[in-house]
């Protein structure tokens, strides 16, 4: 039976962008007719002459739609072979829309195909306009559903609370800020090193925000918290049936971050066996979901972080040297909080305002003794510990201000024996100036009197330390 291809009927709209369609039919003239009809409409076509070829294509490529003939050489009338192929196609990819083609106007066969999961059908000889409309509708619906699934997965990752801004006014932070300004706009992979709680994820967010990828997604994953058995599934995704609990297809973190940034925290904890697979994606930009032979290409900038000494891990045989080279095109070291004490008052004020709003507490600020306790503390847990300390203080405060007792910190050691000796003279001076401004509520005259300085001398110190009046 020859299709009606002589009267070409143009669709009301062009094919959806980059739509890829598989046509399965054992008759060469049918394939040729469909190619003549669909190629001018912008579809990218793959063809298969047998059920085996069709399944091989489905196993290697992703399609936006499949046009499936119901009769092949083994049985040219009953459609049994076509129904078996339909089941196999949907088992391999349950989301691809399948439009079946039936000869002789066999409505019963079309109904059975629809019952098994086909989205629509056309009868041979087909009407060009109807076939084009059906195909365009199914492809558009499939692409819309795929975009929806991607957005849902992204929202699941991004619904965590808003992170704090990047507060960094201490002199020890200036090299880091300069480096972020230089490399942020590039696509270079970055390795962020620093102790636990120093704010490495905030640096990663800042790098993403100043890059050309800022309009796309930043996907964060703690690789150290992933069991080895789920590592590949989390990063690369899986297909339904890949393992016992794989009841549906899953998008991996690399695909979610396509055209955006992927932040891999605790990178030193990735098992050696998984490091090779991670290296391949970084080198080629290609990956396969677990249980699938389809190769997908992703465009991802990778920012990773660790508190470990990776060169030492390489020497001990626990980390691949070639992976380290891929990760640290640029390495950024984030100083611990004890090396940037000038930032403590600003960070404390930020966390105080955040938690006061969160717990609906009206607080005026920090008492001088409380600020002194914060400046004296050694902060082994860094910025994260400061955040938790201010959260506790907001909950424990009995008066209008945070008092030292509300912080729950261990009593400070004498300055001669402890933390102030670790600061430079300039750093101590900057701390004292900030403290005086805080006590004077920003009044320059009163702050100068507290410090025993003239207004001019105080202004010179404000300029010297980059402190806004």
The per-residue pLDDT for 15 is: 59
Q: Is residue 11 part of a domain?
A: no
C-alpha distances in angstroms, 399 versus 194, 385, 405? 37, 23, 11
Both tokens of 380, joined, read 């082994």
Same domain, 91 and 205: no
Domain total of the chain: 3
Same domain, 70 and 29: yes
Of 335, 358, 386, which residue constitutes the final position of a domain?
335
Of 291, 318, 335, which residue constitutes the final position of a domain?
335
Q: Residue 364 belongs to a domain with what CATH number?
A: 1.10.8.60
Q: Residue 132 belongs to a domain with what CATH number?
A: 3.40.50.2300
Question: Which of helix, strand or coil describes residue 220?
Answer: strand
Same domain, 179 and 326: yes
Same domain, 413 and 384: yes
Same domain, 216 and 312: yes
Same domain, 262 and 404: no
| Cα angle 46-47-50, degrees, rounded to a multiple of 5 | 145
For the chain, the straight-line distance linking the first and the last C-alpha, in angstroms and rounded, comes to: 87
Same domain, 326 and 188: yes
Region label for 161, one of left (φ > 0), alpha (ψ between -120 and 50) or beta (otherwise): beta
- Segment-wise mean pLDDT, segments of 10 residues, the chain, 469 residues: 45 63 91 92 90 84 87 70 88 84 76 89 88 91 74 48 66 88 90 94 91 89 82 84 71 90 93 90 88 84 94 92 94 94 92 92 90 92 94 92 90 48 67 79 79 75 74
Pairing of strands 237-238, 250-251: antiparallel
The per-residue pLDDT for 425 is: 65
Q: Residue 254 belongs to a domain with what CATH number?
A: 3.40.50.300
Boundaries of domain holding 26: 20-150
The Cα 63–Cα 45 span in angstroms is: 9
Same domain, 234 and 382: no
The per-residue pLDDT for 214 is: 87
Could you give the residue ranges of the DSSP H alpha helices within 159-269? 174-183, 200-209, 231-236, 253-256
Task: Find tokens 């506790």 and name the residue.
Answer: 392
The per-residue pLDDT for 16 is: 64
The per-residue pLDDT for 161 is: 38
Of 335, 366, 382, which residue constitutes the final position of a domain?
335
Same domain, 291 and 395: no
The per-residue pLDDT for 71 is: 83
The Cα 171–Cα 424 span in angstroms is: 11
Same domain, 368 and 421: yes
Q: Is residue 5 part of a domain?
A: no
Q: Is residue 455 part of a domain?
A: yes
Same domain, 396 and 412: yes
Global pTM? 0.58
Same domain, 196 and 275: yes
Q: Is residue 161 part of a domain?
A: no
């Amino acid at each position: 039976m020859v299709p009606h291809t002589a009267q070409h009927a143009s669709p009301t709209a062009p094919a959806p962008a980059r739509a890829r369609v598989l046509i399965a039919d054992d008759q060469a003239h049918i394939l040729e007719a469909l190619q003549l009809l669909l190629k001018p409409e912008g579809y990218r076509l793959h063809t298969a002459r047998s059920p085996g070829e069709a399944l091989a294509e489905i196993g290697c490529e992703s399609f936006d739609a499949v046009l499936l003939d119901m009769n092949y050489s083994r049985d040219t009338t009953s459609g049994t072979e076509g129904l078996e192929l339909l089941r196999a196609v949907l088992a391999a990819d349950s989301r691809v829309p399948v439009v079946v083609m039936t000869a002789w106007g066999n409505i019963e066969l079309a109904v059975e195909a629809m019952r098994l999961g086909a989205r629509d059908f056309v009868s041979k000889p087909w009407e060009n306009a109807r076939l084009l409309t059906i195909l365009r509708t199914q492809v558009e619906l499939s692409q819309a559903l795929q975009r929806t699934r991607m957005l849902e997965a992204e929202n699941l990752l991004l619904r965590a609370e808003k992170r704090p801004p990047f507060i960094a006014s201490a002199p020890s932070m200036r090299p880091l800020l300069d480096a972020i300004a230089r490399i942020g706009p590039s696509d270079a992979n970055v390795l962020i090193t620093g102790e636990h709680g120093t704010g490495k994820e905030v640096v990663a967010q800042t790098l993403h925000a100043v890059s050309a990828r800022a309009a796309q997604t930043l996907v964060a994953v703690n690789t150290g918290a992933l069991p080895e058995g789920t590592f590949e599934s989390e990063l690369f995704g899986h297909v339904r049936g890949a393992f016992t609990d794989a009841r549906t297809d899953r998008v991996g973190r690399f695909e979610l971050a396509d055209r955006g940034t992927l932040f891999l925290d605790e990178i030193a904890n990735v098992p050696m066996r998984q490091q090779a697979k991670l290296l391949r994606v970084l080198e080629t930009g290609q990956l396969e979901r677990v249980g699938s032979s389809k190769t997908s290409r992703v465009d991802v900038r990778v920012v990773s972080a660790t508190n470990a000494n990776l060169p030492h891990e390489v020497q001990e045989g626990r980390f691949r040297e070639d992976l380290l080279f891929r990760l640290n095109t640029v390495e950024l070291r984030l100083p611990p909080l004890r090396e940037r004490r000038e930032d403590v008052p600003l960070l404390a004020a930020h966390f105080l305002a955040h938690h006061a709003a969160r717990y609906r507490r009206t607080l005026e600020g920090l008492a001088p003794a409380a600020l002194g306790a914060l400046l004296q503390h050694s902060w082994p847990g860094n910025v994260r510990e400061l955040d938790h300390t201010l959260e506790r203080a907001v909950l424990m405060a009995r008066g209008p201000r945070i008092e030292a007792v509300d912080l729950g910190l261990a009593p400070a050691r004498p300055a001669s024996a402890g933390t102030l000796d670790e600061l430079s003279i300039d750093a101590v001076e900057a701390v004292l100036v900030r403290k005086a401004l805080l006590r004077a509520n920003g009044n320059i005259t009163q702050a100068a009197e507290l410090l025993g300085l003239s207004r001019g001398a105080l202004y010179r110190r404000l300029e010297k330390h980059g402190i806004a009046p």
